[in-house]
Homo-oligomer: A and B are copies of this chain.
Amino acid sequence: MTSPAYLDSPFLRACRRETVAHTPIWFMRQAGRYMPEYRAIKERATFLEMCRTPDLAVEVTLQPIRALGVDAAILFSDILITLAAMGVTVDFNPGPHIPDPIRTRAQVDALRTPKPEESVPFVLEALRRLRKELPAHIPLIGFCGAPWTLACYATEGGGGKEPVRMKRLCYEDPTTAALLLDKLTDMNAAYLVAQIEAGAQAVQIFDTWAQLLHVADYDRWALPYVERMIKKVREATAAHSPAPVIIYFARESGALLPHVAHATADVVSVDWRVPLDTARRVLGGAIALQGNLDPWALFAPWDELRRHADEVLVRAGNQPGHIFNLGHGILQETPVDNVRRLVEYVHERTAAR
């Protein structure tokens, strides 16, 4: 019996720091409003309906695979899906909105940590169908939010501004803050395991709001929970061979980077502000790097965009262990043609090496 082609794909090989035929490329939020195919579906369903209806989630996940030629598929969903499963009301209008944010010990106590199979079956169903419908050579990525980042959303309530309530909770009531983070860790570790069992070969943990923290607070309130989550996922999926890949994305600008290595992820996804050669030097050679084009470079004329892409490739260096991506999610008005052309360019330029 031969193993599935996706296990030997450039994306998974690069995550394992093996040699590749070309540098793999995908985009955070590669399914989204910048694509006409996506907007056509969005017209007849809300964002949450799209997340919760396997037919729609599968279709939208496949769109960028067909249209862009990227090297990996990432499940169409949202990190707040698990918050909703824990009993928190979550709306999108269009940004996330939590009408009754978590502020008290009683609210934290009331949070449930239900089994993913029972609370988010639609996600697992979408992953199972995606693994069947995707081309055999395309790996599938699942994801969740990091405990710190989810806690920021849960306590803030949304509104688009920088969330600030979680920091206050940490300072004023550290016991409640830790309990909230514990529950989020348990729920989301189980969620990642379920995603892997349902068909994901890699999972990415999004820590968007790590950028709010200074180093000492990151070491206390963010890092240990990510570390514990990763440990749980590795233990629960120890029978898989090759082991599922774990990617950690901490949106920040360099100060936290030496600490990010301790999260023990296989791949660190780097914010666009930290040059990849700096990241390589700080993180060492045992971690693959993902990133890190400035999402705004995709709005530039091609010559300028190519210059930015070259800068990323040169700083990544001519060595295994680089997955080309953005330094943050793709933006709404991004011109699709630039995205497609960038995928081709990265493939062609790195195949020549």
Q: Residues on A close to B: CB < 8 A?
A: 160-161, 164, 167-168, 171-172, 211, 213-217, 252-257, 272-275, 278, 294, 296-297, 299-301, 304-305, 311, 327, 331
B254, B272, B299, B327: the one within 8 Å of A168 (CB): B299
Enumerate chain B residues within 8 angstroms of A164, measured Cβ to Cβ: 296, 331
Instruction: Kindly provide the distance from the CB of A244 to the nearest chain B CB, expressed in whole angstroms.
Output: 30
With A and B bound together, what is the CA distance between A269 and B211 in angstroms? 18
The 4 closest A-B pairs by CB, nearest first: A253-B253, A254-B254, A171-B300, A254-B255
Closest beta carbon of chain B to A209's beta carbon, Å: 12
Cα of A255 to Cα of B161 in the assembled complex, Å: 23
Out of B172, B301, B304, which one reaches A301, CB within 8 Å? B172
B-chain residues with CB within 8 Å of residue A301 when the two chains form the complex: 171-172
A253-B252, A253-B255, A254-B255 are contacts. A273–B161 as well, Cβ < 8 Å?
no
- Complex Cα spacing A172 to B160, Å: 27
Q: Which of B215, B272, B297 contacts A273 (CB 8 A)?
A: B215
A171 engages B296 (CB within 8 Å): yes
Residues of B near A274 (CB, < 8 A) are: 255
A294 contacts across to B, CB distance below 8 A: 167, 214, 217
- Whether B296 and A167, one on each chain, are in contact in the complex, defined by CB atoms closer than 8 angstroms, is yes
CB nearest neighbor in B for A305: B171
Residue of B nearest to A294 (CB): B214
Across the interface, do A171 and B273 meet the contact criterion of CB distance under 8 Å?
Answer: no
- For residue A296, which residues in chain B have a CB less than 8 angstroms away from its CB? 164, 167-168, 171
How many angstroms from the CA of A168 to the CA of B331 in the assembled complex? 12
Q: Other CB < 8 Å A-B pairs besides A171-B299, A211-B273, A255-B274, 18 of them? A: A160-B160, A164-B331, A167-B294, A167-B296, A168-B296, A171-B296, A171-B297, A171-B300, A171-B305, A172-B300, A172-B301, A211-B253, A214-B327, A216-B311, A252-B253, A253-B255, A253-B256, A254-B254
Contacts of A278 in B (CB 8 A): 255
Check A273 against B172 for contact (C-beta < 8 Å).
no
In the assembled complex, the Cα of A278 lies from the Cα of B256 at a distance in Å of: 11
Q: List 10 A-B contacts (CB under 8 A).
A: A160-B160, A164-B296, A167-B296, A167-B299, A168-B296, A171-B296, A172-B301, A215-B275, A253-B255, A254-B254
Which residue of the partner chain, among B171, B214, B327, contacts A304 with CB atoms under 8 Å? B171
